Structure 1
Amino acid sequence: MESSGAMETDDSRGVSSAVGRLIETWRDDILQRIHGYVELETPTSDGPALNTLADALQHRYCALGADVTVVPVGAEGAAGSHVLAELPGRGQLADASTVLLLGHSDTVWPRETLAGMPWSVDGDRVAGPGSFDMKSGLVVIETALEVIRTLNLPHRPVRIAIAADEEIGSPSFQPLLATMLDTVGCALGFESPHPDGALKRGRWGSTRIDLTVIGRESHAALDPDGGVSAIDELVDQLRQVRAIVDAANEGAASPAVLLNVGTISGGTRANVVAGTASALIGLRFLDAAVESTVLEQIRGVRAMRSGAVIDITVLSSRPAWIPTAANDRLLERMTHAAASCGLTLSARAAAGAADTNLPGARGVPTLDGLGPRGEGAHARTESFSIESLLERIALLVAFLTLAE
């Protein structure tokens, strides 16, 4: 985001100045809070680690005056906990439509990553596993609400929903999220923005599939015909999947479907015909129509070898989010909020999927990328900009306190 020359009223300039001064005063505390969250390494499905962070978030939201609910994932939170919070509006905005704020507590990094990738601050850059994706985004949310509370500003009702399994497609969070959408006016995601700081106003659909083949083991030399190679069958099935995707993209100026085979496993020994094999497949879809067609065709594949059994399981699926006129109106409101604190912004669609896919696809006005600028999500170069972090806090304050 960059400075803007937009005209402001005396009142808005005064509030904006007070907000900016308070955020700057809290600068060190804000970084310490992110540091604390990063030190709580929270890989997906690590229940004890994720529950520790859920407890910290619950404490923070309660201190801000929110009604908090912790939803365990798995038996008694064995895979972590989602955190939900409701904060009523205040003043002349008390009856405004509710703003849904979306984030996640899990990261792609295993425990002990900090040993070789430690937290560091170098000028404007802060690095550390999970700092950019997306613990800095979590702190944008809570700090903005703390600023509003401290300055006693009127604000819209807020609902916070923090997923514990976003990095694997939110399989347990998405059904929970779906129950919230009828009662919110818009949804904001605090994932990372585009590299230039632009917000995300649409996302490709994303589906993760497990393709497993059951064959039959036999001695590879003494009884080769007695076996059915699951690995050979899997290779041919992957060729079929590739052909389906290529057909969907045929004649298009740019791909409408992206395919990535992320992992392959199977077999036991070189002298044993493989009895099982599987692949984890990631698919991205430009729109719902091509998604429906391709997934239907993939589900319809049949084994090529007598005796082989194919099992296709959809592990997670996020629908394509196509921008609408309602999205444009939300972007106008966000742009106005940015101007009120001397900032400008832009927005465009993104290929990556996130929890904002669901509200966006369901027609809820949605924007994502409200976390700070940075780089290296899921990479060892992961870092974010302090200046951008402080700007994002000010932007969220301005949006939540903007009169309708």
Structure 2
Amino acid sequence: MMIERLREYVGAETPTGDAAALNAFADRLGTRYAELGATVRRVPTPTGDHLVADFPGRAGAAPLLFLAHHDTVWPIGQLRDAMPWREQDGIIHGPGVFDMKGGLVVLETALEQVAGRDHRPLRVVVVADEEVGSPSARSLVTAEAQGAYAAFGFEPPHPNGDLKTSRWGSTRVRIEVTGREAHAALDPASGVSAIDELVDQLLAVRRIVAGYDEVLCNVGTITGGGRTNVVPGSAAADIGFRFVDPATEEAVLQAVAELQPERDAQLAVRVMSNRPAWQPSAATDALLAQVVAAGRSVGQEVGGAAATGAADTNLTGWLGIPTLDGLGPIGQGAHAVHEQVIAATLTERAALVAAIITSL
């Protein structure tokens, strides 16, 4: 049943930003959550609706918050062309099986298993733009997290199945340069190359980052110019930063914001999305101990470790809410064409989540 549902969900491709595809998938989730007893709310945005589902539970108890997303990094057609659904030797391949349609199936199955049993109220938040940093969902996640007993994410776990107990901070920054176009051969001196300026600024960013330990910096996209015989008048780059602690994050981002042009060009630095660092805490350690006990009740050994990747659980951890992530099935290849999950871990993870819900 879980594999069939995963195949259905993977078959409904949901690239970030495709509002029609995302909203159609949200319809499926909302209908299913309502069937399981939830009060479902849609939070509309131009790039796809977010979903909030509240399941009733023990009177007066603080709720458990479950965080998930229904967008993927893959375009429509990926399933037909480069990544067809495939089951072989207990491994399931396909776009989104690992990140995070598999996690959605685990969550849904666990909700089915605890229906009618005693547990805390449950709140499920499924966002539509997690893969680009949740720019439209940050305020929603923050608001829905208020008063939660604990938060759990359904992102992929560590390769050995361990849960994630902290995460590096993640910030996307765009550097935009406006120069001045001119004929590259007849009048080059009248032009100001936006591309040359952008290259110099990216080198300056590298120098900034080199002054700090444990900062990751990836220039993910570069655009600019249009013809080889025209001095380019515009250029831009998107940069992904990862930070282990808030102090380093603040210092690096401040230095990047204060960059100055090297030539007669205009420079703009914008933060596109930000997820603050979720640092280790005694509260999360205590939650992990409870989850370890829940796991043992269903014959599973559960561990936890820090993670470098970012997700919506960064926000709950940063807010001081005891948080764990990585409750999706075990697999590999997030954002890669060999994306896959181990089929048997779908049922194992669902049993673990059901045990967590009924034991906290």
TM-score band, normalised by shorter chain: over 0.9
Matched letter for residue 98 of structure 2: F
Change (3 A) 1:339 1:95: farther
Q: TM-score, normalised by structure 2?
A: 0.98
Deviation at 1:118, TM superposition (A): 1.1
- What SS does the corresponding residue of 2:65 show, helix, strand or coil? strand
User: What is the rounded CA distance, in whole Å, between the counterparts of 1:238 and 1:118 in structure 2?
Assistant: 38
The aligned residue for residue 140 of structure 1 is: 106
Are 1:122 and 2:125 an aligned pair? no
Matched letter for residue 51 of structure 2: V
Contact kept in structure 2, 1:37 and 1:135, CA below 8 Å: yes
Q: TM-score, normalised by structure 1?
A: 0.88
Matched letter for residue 384 of structure 1: V
The aligned residue for residue 150 of structure 2 is: 186
Deviation at 1:211, TM superposition (A): 0.5
User: What is the rounded CA distance, in whole Å, between the counterparts of 1:283 and 1:181 in structure 2?
Assistant: 25
The aligned residue for residue 86 of structure 1 is: 54
The aligned residue for residue 167 of structure 2 is: 203
Q: Percent sequence identity over matched residues? A: 52
Q: Matches of residues 1-400 of structure 1 in structure 2 within 5 Å?
A: 29-74=1-46, 79-89=47-57, 93-116=58-81, 117-149=83-115, 152-249=116-213, 256-306=214-264, 308-400=265-357
The aligned residue for residue 20 of structure 1 is: none
Contact kept in structure 2, 1:134 and 1:192, CA below 8 Å: yes
Contact kept in structure 2, 1:86 and 1:160, CA below 8 Å: yes
- What SS does the corresponding residue of 1:42 show, helix, strand or coil? coil
User: What is the rounded CA distance, in whole Å, between the counterparts of 1:148 and 1:156 in structure 2?
Assistant: 11
Listed one character per residue, the Cα deviations across residues 134-153 of structure 1 (whole Å, up to 9, x for unaligned) are: 0010011111111111xx32
User: What is the rounded CA distance, in whole Å, between the counterparts of 1:310 and 1:400 in structure 2?
Assistant: 50
- What SS does the corresponding residue of 2:222 show, helix, strand or coil? strand
Query: Is the radius of gyration larger for structure 1 or structure 2?
Result: 1
Deviation at 1:323, TM superposition (A): 1.1
Please provide the CA RMSD for this pair. Answer: 0.9
The aligned residue for residue 4 of structure 1 is: none
Matched letter for residue 139 of structure 1: V
Contact kept in structure 1, 2:2 and 2:347, CA below 8 Å: no
- What SS does the corresponding residue of 2:211 show, helix, strand or coil? helix
User: What is the rounded CA distance, in whole Å, between the counterparts of 1:94 and 1:383 in structure 2?
Assistant: 40
Matched letter for residue 12 of structure 2: L
Change (3 A) 1:269 1:247: same
Q: Which runs of 5+ in 1 are unaligned?
A: 1-28, 250-255
User: What is the rounded CA distance, in whole Å, between the counterparts of 2:107 and 2:59 in structure 1?
Assistant: 19
Matched letter for residue 114 of structure 2: I
- What SS does the corresponding residue of 1:337 show, helix, strand or coil? helix
- What SS does the corresponding residue of 1:172 show, helix, strand or coil? coil
Contact kept in structure 1, 2:2 and 2:346, CA below 8 Å: no
Structure 1 consecutive aligned stretches of length 4 or more whose deviation exceeds 6 Å: none
Q: Which runs of 5+ in 2 are unaligned?
A: none
- What SS does the corresponding residue of 1:240 show, helix, strand or coil? helix
Contact kept in structure 2, 1:94 and 1:154, CA below 8 Å: no
User: What is the rounded CA distance, in whole Å, between the counterparts of 2:143 and 2:269 in structure 1?
Assistant: 27
- What SS does the corresponding residue of 1:326 show, helix, strand or coil? helix
User: What is the rounded CA distance, in whole Å, between the counterparts of 2:59 and 2:289 in structure 1?
Assistant: 22
Deviation at 1:220, TM superposition (A): 1.1
